[in-house]
Chains A and B, each alone.
Chain A
Amino acid sequence: MSTTKIINRCQALFDDLDFTAVGDWKAADSTRKVIGFMPVYVPREIIHAGGMLPVGILGGGDQLEVIHGDAYYQSYICRIPRSTIELGVTGRLDFVDGLLFPSICDVIRNLSGMWKLMFPDVYVRYFDVPQNYDDEIGGNYYVNELQELRSGLENVAGRAITDDDIRRSVAVYNENRRLIRDLYAFRVRSPWKAPSSEVYLLLRAGMVLPVEEHNQMLVDYLAAAESQDRAMRDNCRIVLQGSFCEQPPLNLIKSIELAGCYIVDDDFMLVNRWLFDDIPLDGDPIANLAAAFLHGSRETAAKYQPDGALKGKYLVESVRDNAAEGVIFAAPSFCDPALLDRPMLAKAMTKHNIPYISFKYAENSGQMQPIREQAGTFADSIKLWSDA
């Protein structure tokens, strides 16, 4: 299968604001249930173990006309909650039997309560995670939270979710994470063969497809991309940082690439790469999920870094490990976590002599010319004046 064919399929899924693929999946069996989740991380394994489909709800992008959603928010609040409400009140999320709101910021947190008020028949859970990474303290708390989540999902599924169910799902998601690690590694090696706009669409497809189907799609894409001959450009290599919640318009990613930057690492849809390593298949699966979160998960603005000396280290390492030449901080307007974190990360970049630029976007930003100019100038400056 060609990359074009695969990406066309991903693009169609991305463009479909009615989630037809999810509706079709659900319609195939009257007992099927769908659990939506918002950024940045939920343990999809438990949803999958209950025979349900986890679906990423990532806002409405730049193609959704937000009419109702704006009536729920002041002008100084980001776009993703208002387009999510738009999706809800226009019936586009009627297929959702439950919706999880991870602990990421006050806006998403409060949206969980709004959903309870507006959609009382939907299972709604604010999914809290520990900011304390001690097994006996934050770990115990998180294990119990996971058990509560499991219990709530059992009610939705109408059946028990056993440890063996979870182990089987962990195996499937381990495979998904491995393939996505492979995809990212491939892009690092040959970014001209895996443009970030394609990588992004592949990740988005994973937000709505059953994981088994997504795994096959990733296998097919990697094989096709490897064998495809594409022209290598004289681009600089950058890490894109700050886009972990409200999504950038696809055109923004394309614009950065067209401006002369290969994106070699990013924080898109971190749920795919939240856990670094495979989760063990033996032992207590809930304890394993908790341990993976505590000791083997990514750093992002929504997580507390207990050691001030390590603040920003992950981004410095990403630049080094991926042979990047600079960082583009691209955060949504009014995104508290990303924008509050940025000065500390920028300081770490300065300390390590890593060039960076910053800009803001909204999911419905339409004007890309300033982004192209800024990214193009950044790329030129790296090419012309970088020490490397």
Chain B
Amino acid sequence: MSADKTPIEVVKEPSMLKQKAMIAENYRKLTGAPETGRKVVSTYVPGNLNELIMCFDMVNNLPEINAIQNGMRQKSRGMIMEAEKMGHSEDVCTYVKADIGMMAKGNIAPNGEPLPAPDLLLLSYTGCFTFMKWFELLRDEYGCETVMLQVPYEGDGKVTENMRNFVVKQLKEEVIPTFERISGVKFDIDRLRENLRRSAAAEDDLVWVLQSAKNRPSPIDAYFGGVFYIGPIFTAFRGTDDAVEYYRLLRQEIEARIANGQGPITPEGDMGSEKYRLVVEGPPNWTSFRDFWKMFYDEGAVVVASTYTKVGGVYDFGFRHDPDHPLESLADYCLGCYTNRNLPQRVEMIENYMSEYEADGFLINSIKSCNSFSAGQLLIMREIEDRTGKPAAFVESDLVDPRYFSKANIKNRLESYFQMIDQKRQGAAAA
């Protein structure tokens, strides 16, 4: 028991320090906007048009990231309860309620300063119906202007010309003119091209890092570690020099880990020997993130591929932002985000990961708040079991509502699951 209470010294690598500084700087820009006069836009992670936002010198605020920050800092419970007191249903997304509760409590950013009201809400309606209602609710609170970018869902598992044209047309005729008007900055497509070029460079290194998990042992954890690796590219940094530099540093660190035969880095240092290689579907729980991760690395379980790390963009099947086709490329990026893909596509992607990353099993962390991910996951699980013959398991939690994280229950399930993988191995060895 006493060992659990000993503060753990977190190992900080240069890329981690770099990312921390980047996030702090963005919050400094956001909270300092009233003094600097910078305009603020709020938008979402999936369908995040950071390269375009940068063309107008605006600062990017992401409500999901604020909710995650509040979840990891154990502040989201009170915010959610505040929103529920205001009349928001206990049944709906806790990101939304954490955001609204955060506003009700003064809208304080992680740096302790109040976040300014946004000048613009960019409703990138990509892969999640709730986004639309969320921004209607925010508009109701802030009373600021909202511009919608509707991204059609890949219902038939493909992007059609009609879908792409629709997104591009909205960008040209509604999104860009609105940004010009709010920011007072004229759109410069060459500036966008430069941003996209930097995006593509960072994306190359990100994909290299994610695919490094094909090594044995995997030098990364592609879910718990993965959420840090995707941080810059999913948020306010895609298209920046900082992001290029971050991914260059990260790649160097992972190259060194492979050369040294090391496994993933965890909050308690190197993971130790790799016993189980897993593919994970669904977002993590943020309020007990460390506890949840520990249940894996204590057992020698490493996540070699995850779908959550594709929610803000799928890059590992070849897509890159393309400076030669800037608006079309932004459209394809939005259309291709993970939760904008239909269920057969998601199953195929997971099946591919199971095989390419030589996984021992498939795990779903099903999130109460997120129907976009969760509806259909039990069928996904069956399909993956049938197609791969590998054991699958299912645990349930929530994004930022600690009331839905049952540590003992999840731990029991995971331990049973790892035993099941062992038995399956023994059975295969005996055959």
Contacts and interface: CB of A to CB of B under 8 A. Distances in A.
Interface in A319-373: 333-337, 339-344, 346-347, 360
B129 A106 contact: yes
B4 interface: no
Interface stretch (A3-11, A122-130, A162-170, A250-258): A122-130
B93 interface: yes
B148 interface: yes
Contact of B137 (A144, A336, A337, A344): A344
Interface residues of B, number: 55
B172 to A, nearest CB: 9
A137 B129 contact: no
Interface string B109-152: 00000000000000101001110111011011001001010101
A304 interface: yes
Contacts of A110: 343, 371-372, 375-376
A346 B137 CA distance: 12
Nearest to A141: B166
B165 interface: yes
Contact of A339 (B91, B346, B396): B91
A158 interface: no
Interface in B387-402: 396
B369 to A, nearest CB: 9
B343 A131 contact: no
Interface stretch (B44-52, B82-90, B255-263, B406-414): B82-90
Contacts of B150: 130-132, 138, 304
Interface string A119-161: 0000001111011101011101100110010000000000000
Nearest to A70: B378
A219 interface: no
Given A106-B372, A336-B130, A116 B148 contact: no
Interface residues of A, number: 59
A292 B396 CA distance: 43
Contact of B396 (A74, A112, A337, A360): A74
A12 interface: no
A117 B383 contact: yes
Given A113-B343, A132-B150, A340 B134 contact: yes
B153 A109 contact: yes
Contacts of B375: 73, 77, 81, 106-107, 109-111
A76 interface: yes
A76 B375 CA distance: 10
Contacts of A105: 129, 371
B344 interface: yes
B343 A117 contact: yes
B161 to A, nearest CB: 9
Nearest to A143: B162
Given A103-B153, A105-B129, A340-B130, A304 B136 contact: yes
Interface stretch (A19-27, A274-282, A305-313): A305-313
Contacts of A148: 160, 162
Nearest to B140: A344
A67 interface: no
Interface in B142-193: 143, 146, 148, 150, 152-153, 155-156, 160, 162-163, 165-166, 169-170, 173-174
Nearest to B155: A126
A118 interface: yes
The 7 A-B pairs of least Cβ separation, nearest first, read A113-B343, A126-B155, A340-B133, A141-B166, A339-B89, A113-B342, A144-B162
14 contacts: A72-B378, A74-B366, A105-B371, A106-B128, A106-B129, A112-B155, A113-B155, A125-B155, A130-B150, A141-B162, A336-B92, A336-B129, A343-B88, A346-B87
Given A112-B155, A305-B136, A337-B133, 7 more contacts: A101-B155, A113-B342, A117-B383, A141-B163, A334-B91, A335-B91, A336-B133
